[in-house]
């Protein structure tokens, strides 16, 4: 038997003010974009803001639906918008924040499994890592250098292509 291990490192900042200026701005914008979320069922509003390699800024927020499987997470709304508006342009950084009427927003949250898969596919498609800045409305902030780090043993196009 052989045992393998997955590990990755990420940076933890005590608060928004410790971040480099560009990341501060992106996370502040992601916090503001939570107000655009349509989340009448969960009351859990998520905002995501990306800086693309061409300097453009794209935002997304979660969009719920009474038929729960139909809803979209903020990350996938953002990826769809960026891919539609700026095809093949890499995303440099995505900042993600949230607020909730039912819980404190004082710590980072991580993208769900579907969003992790979508982020990994985007990185692969444009052959460029996507840095993630994760934070609530207050509290610590995590910076992860590549979204793919969140999805070890990812299902990729190579499985479908026989490669």
Query: Cα separation of 51 and 29, whole Å?
Result: 11
**Is residue 3 in some structural domain?**
no
**Is residue 158 in some structural domain?**
no
**Is residue 159 in some structural domain?**
no
Query: Cα separation of 64 and 45, whole Å?
Result: 10
pLDDT per residue of the chain (163 residues) written in tens, 0 to 9 = 999 999 999 999 999 999 999 999 999 999 999 999 999 999 999 999 999 999 999 999 999 999 988 999 999 999 999 999 999 999 999 999 999 989 999 999 999 999 999 999 999 999 999 999 999 999 999 999 999 999 999 998 888 876 5
Domain that holds residue 80: 11-153
Instruction: Please report the pLDDT score of residue 158 as a whole number.
Output: 84
What is the set of active-site residues?
75
Instruction: Please report the pLDDT score of residue 163 as a whole number.
Output: 58
Quote the number of domains for the chain.
1
111, 95 contact by CB (below 8 A)? no
């Amino acid at each position: 038997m052989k045992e393998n291990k997955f590990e990755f490192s990420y940076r933890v900042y005590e608060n928004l003010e410790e971040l480099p200026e560009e990341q501060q701005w992106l996370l502040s914008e992601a916090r503001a974009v939570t107000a655009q979320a349509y989340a009448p069922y969960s009351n859990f509003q998520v905002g995501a803001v990306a800086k693309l390699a061409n300097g453009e800024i794209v935002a997304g927020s979660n969009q719920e639906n009474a038929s729960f499987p139909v809803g979209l997470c903020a990350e996938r709304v953002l990826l769809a918008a960026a891919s539609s508006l700026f095809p093949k342009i890499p995303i440099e950084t995505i900042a993600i924040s949230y607020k909730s009427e039912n819980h404190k927003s004082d710590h980072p949250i991580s993208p769900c499994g579907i969003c992790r898969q979508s982020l990994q596919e985007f990185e692969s498609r444009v052959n460029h890592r996507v840095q993630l800045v994760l934070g609530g409305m207050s509290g610590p902030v995590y910076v992860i250098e590549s979204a793919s780090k969140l999805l070890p043993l990812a299902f990729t196009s190579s499985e479908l292509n026989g490669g």
